Amino acid sequence: MEESAKDKLPRATAKRLPLYLRNLNILEAEGVIRIKSREFAEITKIPSATIRRDFSYLGELGRSGYGYDVPYLIEVFTALLEANEKKSIAIVGFGNLGRAIAKNNFRRNDNLAISCVFDNNPALVGKEITGFYVYDIRDLKRMVQEKNVSVVITTVPSENSQIVVDEIVASGVTAILNFSSDRVDIPKNVNMRYIDLTTELLTLVFFDHHYKNRPLVVTT
Amino acid sequence: MEESAKDKLPRATAKRLPLYLRNLNILEAEGVIRIKSREFAEITKIPSATIRRDFSYLGELGRSGYGYDVPYLIEVFTALLEANEKKSIAIVGFGNLGRAIAKNNFRRNDNLAISCVFDNNPALVGKEITGFYVYDIRDLKRMVQEKNVSVVITTVPSENSQIVVDEIVASGVTAILNFSSDRVDIPKNVNMRYIDLTTELLTLVFFDHHYKNRPLVVTT
DNA sequence: AATTGTGAACCTCTTCACAGCT
DNA sequence: AGCTGTGAAGAGGTTCACAATT
């Protein structure tokens, strides 16, 4: 108990935290101040037993016969996810996808902000494009420190993925969201998530054809 | 054995199939015709024991003391993923994200093609935008049948997510890739995957701060 | 000599079902 | 009376380690 509870949070639970917090914020905006695990299950599509188990890792957050206090849950989850602290994000690769991500601006999460964008294309570098000044990729390390970047999103083509990831790692950033499909080598202290549209589509079609009535679990 | 092996493929294995196929195609393009599980593990970053276990679900694909035949593996995996059959894809919501996805055109997978796009914005409907004629969302059902659509990608804002997904389901499509963050109700025969950038970023930051040296597993 | 395919152990996560609390 | 928190069982996936095979 004196060891921080979050140190033993199962990963599966951790991945659901953003989903929980988002739905709690919606509930609070609607004026709901109290929620039971069964009700929350209907909203989130997560089974109520899983919700109670997940919440229990963070302490005894609820009250028997009553449910959970929404503002209190929000307080706990917000602190845990640092959702009230500004996070500076960089994008490397400012083509169509990079620009679409930059413009997306993370509705309902004004703590996440794109602070700088990079490309290696001389036609883009030094110009202002859709509101973003495009830096040369060689400025990455300097800007990461200057803007205190927490996460880098890379959208560069697979061919350059490894070399760009190496530069990101060298800049000191340890959290990378990678839209290229090729697996790359990273030091073990670096966290990377891949989002690959082609893989998603192939997986989806495969499950659709082979797992009818046993749907694919949809967790992000 | 007379029951199709793929009927009992673990889901975790199924999700790795696109990764395997992609890397096998790269190997073949490089002229590699034979691969050992240990070598393939280095390329894919999947442990060799997991690779052998995965492959074993599809039959005895390899040879002891030899390894696996790359062209044969490609044949098996391609057939399983139907990666040689054209798949028709529709996009609903043709804003920045929808357009970026449409232009992305799935390098190395010319069997996946965007066949039609939809929006409800009168400023877009009926116009040709970046090479795509924008249909009214009310034409969805008709076009799904006409173009034999296998998968629908939706990028509409959360507020409209449920109503649009209902229309997609009504059109008969059972595979949906959803870029909106809110969980929606779907019949149990429909497969849906969510991709939500905000969730990905929050998850990544959380893991980065709490699971140092025990990196997040990165599977798509 | 070297690698596959797999039984068995292990680990992680989910779900059941109910004691205990309010 | 009703809901939480959790022990225990179950389900699913990974990894070990080696017999079988070429």
A122-165 pLDDT tens trace: 999 999 999 999 999 999 999 999 999 999 999 999 999 999 99
Tell me what pLDDT residue A48 has. Answer: 98
pLDDT at A213: 53
Backbone angles phi, psi at A189, to 5 degrees: -90, 0
Supply the pLDDT for residue A105.
Answer: 65
Q: CB of B9 within 8 Å of any CB in chain A? A: yes
Q: Rounded to whole angstroms, how far apart are CA atoms A110 and A104? A: 11
Residue with more model confidence, B19 or B210: B19
As given in the structure block, the two tokens for residue A17 are: 């935290």
pTM > 0.85: yes
Give A82→chain B minimum CA distance, Å: 8
Q: Which chain B residues touch A45 with a CB distance below 8 Å?
A: 183, 185
From the CA of B41, how many Å to the C1' of C3? 14
State the DSSP H helix or E strand holding residue A218, giving kind and residue range, or none if neither: none
Q: What is the pLDDT of residues B180-200, one digit of tens each?
A: 988 999 998 999 999 999 999
Tokens of B116: 């039609």
- Which residues, including other chains, have CB under 8 Å from residue B73's CB and lie 6 or more apart? B20, B24, B35, B55, B61
Residues B68-94: tens digit of each pLDDT: 999 999 999 999 999 999 999 999 999
Query: What pLDDT was estimated at residue A6?
Result: 46
Chain mean pLDDT for chain A: 91
B41: contact with A, CB 8 A cutoff: no
Q: What are phi and psi of B104, to 5 degrees?
A: -60, -35
Q: What is the model's pLDDT at position A217? A: 44
Q: What separation in angstroms does the CA of B75 have from each of A191, B21, B26, B71, B110?
A: 34, 9, 14, 6, 17
CATH topology of domain A87-199: Rossmann fold (3.40.50)
- Which of A11, A150, A216 is the closest to B205 by Cβ? A150
What are B26-56's pLDDT values in tens digits? 999 999 999 999 999 999 999 999 999 999 9
Q: Do B14 and A206 touch (CB under 8 A)?
A: yes
pLDDT at B8 over 70: yes
* Single-letter amino acid code for the residue at A6: K
Cβ-in-10-Å burial (0-12, 13-18, 19+) of A50 comes to middle
Residues of chain A with pLDDT under 50: 1-6, 214-220
* pLDDT for the residue A8: 79
Architecture of domain A3-80: Orthogonal Bundle (1.10)
pLDDT at residue A83, as a whole number:
92
Q: Give A103's contacts in chain B (Cβ within 8 Å).
A: 96
Question: Is the CB of B216 less than 8 angstroms away from the CB of A100?
Answer: no
Q: B194, A218: Cβ pair inside 8 Å?
A: yes
> Is B82's CB within 8 Å of A209's CB?
yes
Chain C bases near protein Cβ (<7 Å): 1-7, 12-17, 20-22
Q: Where are the domains of chain B?
A: 3-80, 87-199
By the 8 A CB rule, do A89 and A150 touch? yes
Q: What is the pLDDT of residue A181?
A: 85
Average pLDDT (B149-178) is 96
Is the Cβ–Cβ distance between A110 and A89 less than 8 Å?
Answer: no
Query: Rounded to an integer, what distance in angstroms lies between the CA atom of residue B131 and that of residue A73?
Result: 47
Whether B175 contacts chain A with CB within 8 A: yes
